[in-house]
Homo-oligomer: A and B are copies of this chain.
Amino acid sequence: VVSRTLWLSQQGELCHSISPLNRPTLTIDPGDTVMVETEDAFGGVIRTKDDEFDPLVYRSLDWTSNPLTGPIFVKEAKKGDTLVVEIKDIKPTIGQGVATVLDLLWLLSENATARFLDVKIPAEKVLRRICPIKDRKVYWSEKVVLPYRPMIGEIATAPGAVMPNPGCHGGNMDLPEVSIGSKLFMPVYVPGALLHVGDAHAAQGEAELSGVAIEMPAECTLAVDLIRSKTIRWPRLETADYIMSVASSTTHGASLRDAIRIAFMELVLWLEEEYRFDRWDAYQLCTQVAKVTIGNITCVGAKFPKEYL
């Protein structure tokens, strides 16, 4: 069987949550490559300095997910399998991205605190930046030019039911490592896996301090495959240099520290199960060589260098 390349344009309605109830917009075979058009985190509402944008209205539509393309139904995928998505490319589609400041949720945990303190931040439009992207550079200001380091902020299979976002199924992880050349492994919970994709960033630091990266509409080229009857509990990632376990602090009220703990436990068990490490050796060696990536402030990856596998 020759693997095909399919095109999923972002014409129809965007998904606003990751759900088993979303109707597939494309059906593919394991092994197919899909070019997925994604809209940006603002649903394409902000294209110029002057576009009107009301975050409250926007949020009320659905604040638990970015606008997503899909879901993509992967034939034969069933509960207990693992979906593999290799990211072949991420291209900006309109030659620009947008950065801004919406609120201080991350800083203050909740808007009640901001209200209590009468915190004022400058108007969103004043802080808004339309950043041209060309020749693999992102023009953040006249002086500051960033390298184009694209990534997919939100990608997930559908959970069996409602699940926090991000969660065991992936979701809004905002991990810079979900980038070109990486392979992402996600648990399959429902028939067809139902792959959702969106929220591409042209550049993003760790922790995504303000919650808004360089948000851009993009065309993501994804090679999708299936590992049958292999069950993982949390997403895994393989980059050029690392294997990485992902966990998040949205589940069961876990703290960020709990999430790091979970990610490391999964990493140690992964090393035991697939790379024949003794459990306690893996535990010790992680202590000496592992790295931690903080995605957005709720999601973390524990990374082990491939050179020691």
A26 lies within 8 A of chain B by Cβ: no
A237 lies within 8 A of chain B by Cβ: no
On whether the beta carbons of A248 and B258 are closer than 8 Å, the reply is no
On whether the beta carbons of A294 and B262 are closer than 8 Å, the reply is no
Interface 1/0 per residue, A196-214 and B, CB below 8 Å? 0000000111111111111
Closest to A308 in B: B144
A105 lies within 8 A of chain B by Cβ: yes
On whether the beta carbons of B260 and A291 are closer than 8 Å, the reply is no
A173 lies within 8 A of chain B by Cβ: no
A162 lies within 8 A of chain B by Cβ: yes
A284 lies within 8 A of chain B by Cβ: yes
Distance, CA A209 to CA B110, complexed state (A)? 16
Distance, CA A261 to CA B213, complexed state (A)? 17
Query: Given contacts A265-B115, A280-B122, A284-B127, is CB(A209)–CB(B109) below 8 Å?
Result: no
A179 lies within 8 A of chain B by Cβ: no
Interface 1/0 per residue, A154-172 and B, CB below 8 Å? 0000001111110000000
Closest to A97 in B: B288
Residues of chain B within 8 A of A297, CB atoms compared = 253, 257, 260
A63 lies within 8 A of chain B by Cβ: yes
On whether the beta carbons of B110 and A269 are closer than 8 Å, the reply is no
Residues of chain B within 8 A of A121, CB atoms compared = 280
How near does chain B come to A124, taking the closest CB pair, in angstroms?
11
Which parts of A231-259 form the interface with B (CB within 8 Å)? 233-234, 247-259
Query: Given contacts A207-B290, A213-B288, is CB(A265)–CB(B116) below 8 Å?
Result: yes
Distance, CA A190 to CA B119, complexed state (A)? 30
This chain: how many copies in the complex? 4
On whether the beta carbons of B288 and A204 are closer than 8 Å, the reply is yes
Residues of chain B within 8 A of A233, CB atoms compared = 111-112
A65 lies within 8 A of chain B by Cβ: yes
Closest to A111 in B: B233
A64 lies within 8 A of chain B by Cβ: yes
Q: Which residues of A contact B (CB under 8 A)?
A: 16-19, 21, 60-65, 79, 99-101, 104-113, 115-117, 119, 121-122, 127, 129, 140-141, 144, 146, 160-165, 189, 203-214, 233-234, 247-262, 264-266, 268-269, 279-281, 283-292, 294, 297-298, 302, 308
Instruction: Return 27 A-B CB contacts under 8 Å, by A number.
Output: A60-B160, A61-B160, A64-B163, A64-B164, A108-B108, A109-B254, A110-B251, A110-B261, A111-B233, A112-B234, A112-B265, A115-B265, A122-B280, A127-B280, A129-B284, A203-B288, A206-B290, A206-B291, A209-B286, A210-B283, A211-B287, A248-B253, A253-B255, A255-B255, A255-B257, A292-B292, A294-B294
